[in-house]
Amino acid sequence: MTALETRQKFLEFFKKQGHTIIPSASLIPEDKTVLFITAGMQPLVPYLMGKKHPQGARLVDAQKCLRTDDILEVGDNRHLTFFEMIGNWSLGDYFKKESIAWSFELLTSKEWFGIDPQKIYVTVFEGDATLGAPQDDESIQCWKEAFATAGMDASVENGRIAMYPKKKNWWELPGEGPCGPDTEIFYDTGKAHDTVFGDTCHVNCDCGRYVEIWNNVFMEYEKKEDGSGGYAYAPLAHKNVDTGMGLERIAMVLQGKETVFEIDIFSAIIASFENKDTPYTQEARRYRIIADHLRAAVFLISEGILPSNAERGYILRNLVRRAITHAKILKLPDDFYCAPIEIIYRYYKEQYLHVPIEYIITAFAAEYSLFDKAFERGMKKFYTLVESALKTTKIIQGSDAFNLQQTDGFRLELMMDLATDAGITIDEKGFWEEYKKHQEVSRAGAEKKFGGHGMTLQTGELKAADDIELATVTRLHTATHLLQAALREVLGDHVRQRGSDITAERLRFDFIHTQKMTDEEKKRVEDIVNHHITEALPVTNKEMAIDDAEKSGALMFNKEKYGNTVQVYSIGNKENTVSHELCGGPHVVNTKEIGKFRIIKEEASSAGVRRIRATIK
Ligand code: SER
């Protein structure tokens, strides 16, 4: 069953149950508060809140979505930027019983998806006192009945139904809106548990054995500002069902593939530009990135977005340039993008694409030639460095490589590949030292005024700085790690560092998040950080191979920017690790050295990025 047929079957199944098929909304949200639609429910919020939908109370759709938070993870087995979310909707009509029964039927019936029910596991909300929402017993009962139709005895006790707290089984968007408990459906791939994720595998484990294929949200609550900076949850008069299934993931399961990049559409895209000298089997990650980014770019261009340096255009530019960079490394021809774009266009035209293919190709070609100019300049400079390296140590100095990236946007990743061909190496460690200096010290210094004389602290002069100030920078640096961990706890795992800047007076931290933080959220973040400070937790570091660091769950904000060996700083102990992050240091030895942490300001930095300034006392 192709992905296209899978989408069609899903729509048909729900049509049979009285749903109206509605078209996907644009990738660009109408209210413009966020850059892109990231979930199928976003365009339907007014209707989930009670507004009457012209097409009725039962709807089904496939919605275009784009998530760039995970862009650096694209290349593994399941992450994508653009994807289709297929879902069925009850707007105050049916509820848990029908929703769960239909999900089970569609997934397992031979007439439909025909998945072996033994491979299906589900999770249910265990209740939360602060939300005032009880354990979802009704869903447990519905699942028991559903599995019984396949002659299976499903229960919490035998592990077929697993209970999880709010963090896993509650769905809401930031800010006010409809929300509620969810029940998630997982497919057991049968793979062995990867012990990097702990001793025991479970349905929500990150080891990859269980793949989440469907999320049924029961929107029976409304989240509202409570007037004192927090939120209150009240039952909704109008109870809804919002389900979301990643089309590419279900296609992966139905096509018996181990990665989303092996499903019909992606294998066709990849085959269309594969270079037999640098084949997919050896260079899977690069091919996947190119395929994903080309597909996302086609959708963005067909929505009228063009590459630029701001907002949506910037995201598109980044996607296109990353694809081109990997194409160059794979030695693909200049017009490498034409064949895959044609395949993408043919596959999605009928459902989604409403501009002529020439328009898309022209937009892509224009960006290619713009990028190519800078690229040619970078190449010339790079080969000058190669020549001198060949005459001496056969190593390009980290600082030279860093300068080239800074001035010509010639990415380290590309330099490393070219260096291997030329028989030299690049001092990656030096590169990152330079990078760090640039990020943390020199920028911190550049803003720091000495004793009111307006003198600027330059890189390298740090030693001359007062020891106390250096210690403050170090303390703020450790506080930054605690801050990121607290933000992720309070706002969600999508939070990720986008930039960090520390002076002797304050830290500044930019991170991915679209909504303004409420006073209550800020307070909770401060409290969590201060709590970890008073817990007097040890700060330790360990050198690790980058892949091991990644497996251990260490946060890294730009994987491709690190070398093969990295340092990972952990805060806490075995039982209570509060932060685990790639970093070059320096850090304090114990969190108690930090002092009292306070947020001074929280504001927008750029589209989808928030900025916090904080101090310590
Ligand atoms: N809103 C839920 C999600 O995005 C289900 O559609 O996962």
Q: Please give the Cα distance from 275 to 331 (Å, whole number).
A: 8
User: Contact, 81 vs 292, CB < 8 A?
Assistant: yes
Query: Which of 217, 223, 243, 494 maximizes ligand 1 atoms within 8 Å of its Cβ, making it the mutation to test the pocket?
Result: 217
Ligand 1 nearest atom to the CA of residue 38, by list position: 4
Q: What residues form DSSP beta bridges with 179?
A: 221
For 283-323, the three-class secondary structure string (H helix, E strand, C coil) is CHHHHHHHHHHHHHHHHHHHCCCCCCCCHHHHHHHHHHHHH
Q: Hey, what CATH class is 459-616 in?
A: alpha beta
Q: What is the pLDDT of residue 99?
A: 98
Q: What is the pLDDT of residue 470?
A: 56
DSSP secondary structure, 367-398, as one string: HHHHHHHHHHHHHHHHHHHHHHHHHTTSEE-H
> CA nearest 47: which of 186, 241, 217, 209?
241
Amino acid letter, residue 80: L
> What distance in angstroms lies between residue 241's CA and the mean position of ligand 1's atoms?
10
DSSP secondary structure, 28-76, as one string: S-TT-SSSS--STTGGGHHHHTTPPPTT-SEEEEEEEEE--TTGGGTTS
Provide the token pair at 134: 């009880």
- Rounded mean pLDDT for each run of 10 residues along the chain, 617 residues in total: 97 98 93 85 93 96 90 83 98 98 98 98 96 96 98 98 96 90 96 87 90 96 90 92 97 95 98 96 95 98 88 88 90 96 97 92 92 86 94 94 82 80 89 78 35 25 38 84 95 85 83 90 95 92 83 74 76 88 80 92 86 92
Question: Domain 3-261, what architecture?
Answer: 2-Layer Sandwich (3.30)
Shortest-distance Cα residue to atom 2 of ligand 1: 244
H/E stretch holding 9: helix 3-16
Q: Please give the Cα distance from 139 to 217 (Å, whole number).
A: 11
CA distances from 514 to 109, 183, 453, 606, 608 (A): 40, 26, 39, 10, 4
Contacts of 523 (CB under 8 A, 6+ apart): 229
Q: Please give the Cα distance from 45 to 244 (Å, whole number).
A: 14
Cis peptide, bond prior to residue 23, ω within 30 of zero: no
Q: What is the pLDDT of residue 562?
A: 65
Q: What residues form DSSP beta bridges with 511?
A: 497, 610
Q: Where in the chain is the domain with CATH 3.30.980.10?
A: 459-616
Q: Please give the Cα distance from 106 to 254 (Å, whole number).
A: 12
> What distance in angstroms lies between residue 83's CA and the mean position of ligand 1's atoms?
13
> What distance in angstroms lies between residue 244's CA and the mean position of ligand 1's atoms?
5
Q: Is 562 in the pocket of ligand 1 (CB under 6 A)?
A: no
Q: Is 243 in the pocket of ligand 1 (CB under 6 A)?
A: yes
Provide the token pair at 499: 């930039």
Q: What is the pLDDT of residue 558?
A: 61
Angle at which helices 284-302 and 338-348 pack, to 10 degrees? 60
Q: Is 86 in the pocket of ligand 1 (CB under 6 A)?
A: no
Q: What is the pLDDT of residue 417?
A: 75
Residue with tokens 């930095």, as numbered in its chain: 605
> What distance in angstroms lies between residue 186's CA and the mean position of ligand 1's atoms?
14
Provide the token pair at 415: 């330099």
Q: Please give the Cα distance from 217 to 13 (Å, whole number).
A: 19
CB neighbourhood size of 531 (10 A): 14
Shortest-distance Cα residue to atom 7 of ligand 1: 244
Q: Is 246 in the pocket of ligand 1 (CB under 6 A)?
A: no
Q: What residues form DSSP beta bridges with 56?
A: none
Q: What is the pLDDT of residue 456?
A: 25
User: Contact, 510 vs 499, CB < 8 A?
Assistant: yes
The pTM of this model reads 0.68
End-to-end CA distance of the chain: 61
Q: Where in the chain is the domain with CATH 3.30.930.10?
A: 3-261
Apex 175 CA angle, 58 and 46, nearest 5: 30
> What distance in angstroms lies between residue 20's CA and the mean position of ligand 1's atoms?
19
> What distance in angstroms lies between residue 85's CA and the mean position of ligand 1's atoms?
8
Query: Which of 45, 67, 215, 249 maximizes ligand 1 atoms within 8 Å of its Cβ, making it the mutation to test the pocket?
Result: 215
Q: What is the pLDDT of residue 466?
A: 36
Q: Could you give the dihedral angle defined by the CA atoms of residues 478, 480, 484 and 486, in that order, rounded to the nearest 10 degrees?
A: 70
Ligand 1 nearest atom to the CA of residue 87, by list position: 6
> What distance in angstroms lies between residue 522's CA and the mean position of ligand 1's atoms?
26
Rg for the chain, CA atoms, rounded: 26
Provide the token pair at 59: 């709807």
